[in-house]
Structure 1
Amino acid sequence: MDLETEFGDPYLPGNPLGHNAIIEADERGEVFEAGEELLDCLSLNAEFVPPRLGGRLGTADEFIRRLRPVFRRDAALGIGYGVPTLLASLNVWLATDNAQQQNALAERILGGSKVCLAHGSPGMYPDPAALELTARERGDRYVLDGHAGLVFNSDRADSAVVIARTAYTQNQRSRSLLLVDLTALPDESRRRSPRVRTLGLRDCHLGGLEFSMCPVPRDSLIGWSGTGASLSCRASEIGGCLTTGLSLGMLDASLFTVLRFALHRRLYGRAVSDMPHAKATIAGAFADLLVADCLVTTAARALHLLPGHSRAYAAATRYLVPLLIENAMNELSVVLGARYYLREGEHAIFGKHFRDLPSLSLVYPDHTPYEITIAAHLPAFAHAQRHPSSSTESMSIFTPDTTLPPLEHNPHPTRAQGDPLLACLEPWLDELRGETRTTTDLSTIATLLLTELDHLATHVSRAHVWQLDPANHTDGGTLSERYAILLAATACLGIWRHNRDRRVLAGSAWIRVALRRLLSRLMPGTPPGASELDDELFSELLTRAAEETSFCLDEDPVRRTLPR
């Protein structure tokens, strides 16, 4: 399946799958039908089903790489077509005790059906009970009641994975998951709410599902009764990481749009790309993209190799990567200038990506803030810093040819000890500082990052548990952010050290810019790097653009052209 070839050059006039057609559908707030027809022809639904059930859903990092071309064109197409199907069905694939249920769902998805994820959102409304989904046992069935708001594809889905309260207790055993066939429900007991319009993802269908004394068969239960919270937490961890990784395609495409503009647009007798500030901004956005991709790739592979620690890694990724993308997009919009506001023309796709990015948080909302998830992991991190140990699993995360085990769910997890990834950062920085004494800035950055790592571990080890909770103490959110930034630095160093055969990773220019930009988040006011580093990264961008390869780590072929 070569999505890039099938989509073609989005800048080519007359391309029915190009930017102009995408923008027109977005302006009308309608589904991009030509795009959906192409994905149907390519049987993209198979990407959401595991191979053991007849699909093509492989490892997490492979999934991100395969579907990223869709998000380079139109995130709304990727979301509207099938990402909610994946996010919902993950709950079924992870619950391995009902082969009949899995086979039936796989058959429906492979046949073109869509699945939505329905859950109440009590934390978003004044009356918590107003949006509480409940499922009460009545003989040989469950009776569903309640309202699920903000459900993607609520009016297009044939099935729904429903997260409902099945016990009136305040613990992890109070909720269960049900796989509901929406087409088989009585009309009087099930209602699809009107579509909700949003600023971003305007051509997606976002609505709600209402249930009133709605009977569903007992065999609709996914897994065991009372395991809904645990199962959906693991599915959210995986699905959120995948969605975050796919969003990098939007920054990739936006970076190319701005580069294309900067090379073509002339001011004061020279190209915008020749202006130092514009060049530094574009190079910096490229560095942010690579940093984000390193973190996403590391977290995605940790889902397979380090499942006991991956919840914290996924939370850090979902917290930091959107901030990196937002910062890069804001800076790139300055280079684009007034064209950023245009809703037509060759640069309008940048504005669409800019509007769509914040709405991605609605696709898989997590009612536990990422900072709290990270904060719960911080004591294990501090313990790992005091009692360092080696981990072969953490090394294999950075080696692309390592065979990954399948994604699984452990219904009885034990609290993870240590932090296999952050345990690598101190020895790597020490080694880097010793190797690069001639590269003064890299040696200095390594020293400062070591200091920040030690400060974080010391602060956490001395703090009471309640002080680590962002809800109780302002330092909690700051500590979680600093942890996420140091995790990103670890991901960058790990991939840089273990993949020196890649062109951009062969030298030190990228890692010097990347670590400095991460350090500036820990230490505001950190001066920018040398201009020759920007020149080197900008030259790499030009090379990739001319060769029609991705700006992400993968360097896959991409169909797009620079102006002549």
Structure 2
Amino acid sequence: MTYERAADLDRALGDPRDPANPCGFEAMVRRDAEAAYPHALAARAALLRTGLLPGTAMDELLMLVRVAGRRDVTVMPATLYSVTAATCVLLAGDERQREEVLRLIEAGEQIGFALSEAEHGADLLANQCRLERGEPGFRLHGRKWLVGAGRRCSALLVVARSGGRGPSAFSAVLVRGAALERARVPVPALPSAMRGADFGGFAFDHTELPADALVGEPSRGLEVAMKAMQVVRTTSTAANLACADTGLRLTMDFAAAHHFGGRPLLEHGHVRRELGTAFAALLACDVVAITAARALHTLPGAQSLWASVAKKVLTELSEEVFTRCADVLGTRAVLDGPFSVARRDNQLVRFIDTGPVANLRLVCMQLRQLAAAEPEAQPSTELATTYTIDRPLPTLRLADLALSNRGRDEVTAALPAIDSRVAAELKLWRQDVRALAPGEDCQDLAERFCFLHAAASCLHLTWFTPALGESLAPSVDLLLDRAAGGARRLSGAAAESAASQAEGLHVRGHLFSVAPLPLAEGSSTPWLG
């Protein structure tokens, strides 16, 4: 698949380096300074909203978001804040609720998702917003904060405590109309990045709701939300890809045009190592994100693990891209401009939908089962489809999402015989997990697994997409080093291979990706900071 719709969208949005382009880098900087909503970009990229409708492939949506978001990642919440609430309703709602949600999306309306509470953060089981039985429906009482699209949403899905204990103590309701408008309140503080995004709060004071506001079965609200957030964790990787592509592209512009000692920076060995390492990290992110999005169609039951792996790898390595690029840019990296805006926005993505500690905890919960599983001889048809990126995908089956994959992970269990190092490291990892004492902290082992899973993804993609050749070898080297707790730059042939790949895609004006789309700027005048 060549993702033609994404290439067409990027072309339609114009050259982002044109200062007069309302969908360009300079416009992003102006909006950030004013904390302004990206009206023009969201209107021109309205196609993104259709990604929530049945029939859209999730990897295609990822690429659409990526090419729009590289110009200002705030466009993602401006068009896709509805994804969590909509997925909840499509998973558990009745036919009337599903039709209502799809009508709102088709009309360009937003549906908010209210789960978090300021007093409890990631401790969701401590949430206190209450849903009580009323006559004839329900009463909602309590506060929710930092709700995406909170000031603009036409409907709001609220997960609230309804009785009982543990995860089954929560139900979900859809709030609309006057009840929604009366509950809107400002939030006392806003994030320092994605400053044009729409965040709001809600305060319910025994708000009356009709009986048909309940979404799904009582006591299943948190379960449904956890499944929906697997989709969100996967799609949110597009934001990391978008920001990191902009960071690396601007740095490549600078390194190609700026001279030091009579030569372009890009010809200096230490610069090539930094940028080669940054590119290898970005390409690893690209592989993990695209294949995780495809797996939503092929292996939805594996997303409880896969989505968390993707979020961990993308948030860590995209930040590494910025760190290495900043060292090349020097002082320009901290000046007000598109690089610094993209870097701050990328840092915020780390905390959207699921924070880093909570996300890693989701991996920890499955480690012992994963370590107990034996390697498999052959990959399944579903895995082969996932990694053959020009192969059509089956219809998305949200009903097959699960809270656990029960210890089965084909990605690491059915490795192709390309690079024995990954299999050897996985064997050692399994031994270390089995040696864990009861109650012993496993975060380091969870992090290690995430990077090994990403390395395994690179091997699978190389095996099932032979045209990639050895292009992912530097990314595998980097991932194995990160799995071991390292942070070294690539060196030698690996560094030069990655730097040459980055240089070639940059000169041709293509996306930094295993699916290198032609971009609108082509070979236009580079950004010099």
The answer to whether the 8 Å contact 1:135/1:165 transfers is yes
The answer to whether the 8 Å contact 1:280/1:534 transfers is yes
Give the alignment partner of residue 252 of structure 2, picking from 259, 280, 283: 259
Is it true that 1:363 corresponds to 2:352 in the alignment?
Answer: yes
Q: How does 1:155-166 map to 2 (within 5 A)?
A: 155-166=151-162
Is it true that 1:350 corresponds to 2:336 in the alignment?
Answer: no
Q: Distance in 2 between matches of 1:393 and 1:111?
A: 35
C-alpha displacement at 1:205, in angstroms?
Answer: 2.1
Equivalent residue for 2:429? Answer: 456
Equivalent residue for 2:380? Answer: 391
Q: How does 1:114-263 map to 2 (within 5 A)?
A: 114-121=110-117, 124=120, 132-167=128-163, 169-181=164-176, 183-185=177-179, 190-194=183-187, 196-263=189-256
Q: Give the letter aligned to residue 153 of structure 2.
A: A
C-alpha displacement at 1:197, in angstroms?
Answer: 2.7
Bigger relative contact order, structure 1 or 2 (CA pairs below 8 A, ≥6 apart): 2
TM-score (norm 1): 0.86
C-alpha displacement at 1:38, in angstroms?
Answer: 2.0
Instruction: Sort the Cα spacing of 1:518 and 1:130 in 2 relative to 1 into closer, same or farther, 3 A.
Output: closer
The answer to whether the 8 Å contact 2:133/2:139 transfers is yes
The answer to whether the 8 Å contact 2:118/2:144 transfers is no
* Residues 290-341 of structure 1: per-residue CA shift (max 9 Å, x gap): 1111112222222222233221111111112100111111111110111112
* Residues 193-225 of structure 1: per-residue CA shift (max 9 Å, x gap): 246332111111222111111111111111111
Is it true that 1:23 corresponds to 2:53 in the alignment?
Answer: no
Instruction: Sort the Cα spacing of 1:390 and 1:365 in 2 relative to 1 into closer, same or farther, 3 A.
Output: closer
Instruction: Sort the Cα spacing of 1:306 and 1:558 in 2 relative to 1 into closer, same or farther, 3 A.
Output: same
Is it true that 1:521 corresponds to 2:482 in the alignment?
Answer: yes
Q: Distance in 1 between matches of 2:403 and 2:495?
A: 46
SS at match of 1:74: coil
TM-score (norm 2): 0.91
Is it true that 1:490 corresponds to 2:485 in the alignment?
Answer: no
Return 229-238 or 406-415, whichever deviates more: 406-415
Q: Distance in 2 between matches of 1:206 and 1:68?
A: 22
The answer to whether the 8 Å contact 2:127/2:161 transfers is no
Q: Distance in 2 between matches of 1:463 and 1:71?
A: 42
The answer to whether the 8 Å contact 2:89/2:215 transfers is yes
C-alpha displacement at 1:485, in angstroms?
Answer: 1.1
The answer to whether the 8 Å contact 1:148/1:209 transfers is yes
Equivalent residue for 1:421? Answer: 411
Equivalent residue for 2:398? Answer: 408
Q: Give the letter aligned to residue 385 of structure 2.
A: S
Is it true that 1:275 corresponds to 2:276 in the alignment?
Answer: no
C-alpha displacement at 1:142, in angstroms?
Answer: 1.0
RMSD of aligned alpha carbons: 2.6
Q: Give the letter aligned to residue 17 of structure 2.
A: Y
Instruction: Sort the Cα spacing of 1:371 and 1:306 in 2 relative to 1 into closer, same or farther, 3 A.
Output: same
Return 294-303 or 84-93, whichever deviates more: 294-303
* Residues 228-283 of structure 1: per-residue CA shift (max 9 Å, x gap): 12111110011111102332011112111000000011112111111111111111
Q: Distance in 2 between matches of 1:233 and 1:317?
A: 16
Equivalent residue for 2:59? Answer: 61
Q: Distance in 2 between matches of 1:272 and 1:518?
A: 26
C-alpha displacement at 1:541, in angstroms?
Answer: 2.3
Q: Distance in 1 between matches of 2:295 and 2:257?
A: 42
C-alpha displacement at 1:350, in angstroms?
Answer: 0.9
The count of corresponding residues between Structure 1 and Structure 2 is 518
C-alpha displacement at 1:152, in angstroms?
Answer: 1.7
SS at match of 2:373: helix
C-alpha displacement at 1:155, in angstroms?
Answer: 1.0
Return 264-273 or 519-528, whichever deviates more: 519-528
Is it true that 1:316 corresponds to 2:309 in the alignment?
Answer: yes
Q: Distance in 2 between matches of 1:61 and 1:307?
A: 14
Structure 1 runs (4+) greater than 4 angstroms displaced: 125-131, 386-390, 410-415, 524-530
The answer to whether the 8 Å contact 1:131/1:147 transfers is no
Q: Is there any run of 5+ residues in structure 1 with no aligned partner, and where?
A: 52-57, 434-445, 468-472
Is it true that 1:86 corresponds to 2:92 in the alignment?
Answer: no
The answer to whether the 8 Å contact 1:120/1:132 transfers is no
Q: Distance in 2 between matches of 1:523 and 1:412?
A: 30
Q: Distance in 2 between matches of 1:7 and 1:127?
A: 41
Give the alignment partner of residue 111 of structure 1, picking from 103, 107, 112: 107
Equivalent residue for 1:45? Answer: 49
